[in-house]
Structure 1
């Protein structure tokens, strides 16, 4: 049981680093974007990777909770809330991009402001919970 718990902690930590990595890759894609249609295509191909990494973090957290006999601590509840918030923010960002009027010339500029705000919130959330857990 201890081996499963230790492996889950390592997987969980790498998953959190992966979430930060995908956020930074999304920011980089947005910074380099010049054409809204190409950007939408790139995001639609990259979005499943980000969601898979969030799923890996949630799954490794579930394995850790199972090995601790489903011991709900305040840390676990906060992590569950943060995971749900990350999923909701990513879906809001995706939906906004999906329903954006791509014929407008300033569509990418308007979307950038919105997406940067979401990315800031996501980075702060991940860093806050990580700092709390690693201290």
Structure 2
């Protein structure tokens, strides 16, 4: 059991780093791609990667809870809440993409402002729980 728990901690930490990396790539795409049509295409291909990274962190967290015999500590409850918040923010951002008019650059600029705030909130969520757990 200890080996499975130790492996899950390492995988969980790499998953959190992957989520931060995916968020940063999203930000780079948001500001690097000027055309709303090209951005929509890129984000439609990249969104499953975001879900996979978040899913990896949640799955490894579940494995760690199972190896600790499903002990609900305050840390586990807070991580569940933060994972739910991260999923909510991603859904909110994804729904914002569907509202963008491909021909209207003003709506794309409005989405950029909204998405930037969501990405900053996601970074704050991930870093706050990470700092609390790693320190």
TM-score band, normalised by shorter chain: over 0.9
- Deviation per CA, 1:47-86: give whole Å up to 9, x if none: 0001001000000000000000000011101101111111
TM-score (norm 1): 0.97
The gaps in structure 1 that reach 5 residues or longer are none
Query: What is the aligned length?
Result: 135
Give every structure 1 segment of 4 or more consecutive aligned residues whose post-TM-superposition deviation is greater than 4 Å. Answer: none
Q: Which residue of 2 aligns with 1:50?
A: 50
Q: Is the 8 A contact 2:101 2:108 kept in 1?
A: no
Q: Distance in 1 between matches of 2:124 and 2:73?
A: 22
- Structure 2: stretches of 5+ with no match in the other structure: none
Residue 106 of structure 1 aligns to a residue in which SS? Answer: helix
Give the drift of 1:105: 2.5
What is the root-mean-square deviation of aligned Cα atoms in Å? 0.7
2:67 match: 67
Q: TM-score, normalised by structure 2?
A: 0.97
CA distance in 1: counterparts of 2:105 and 2:116, whole angstroms = 19
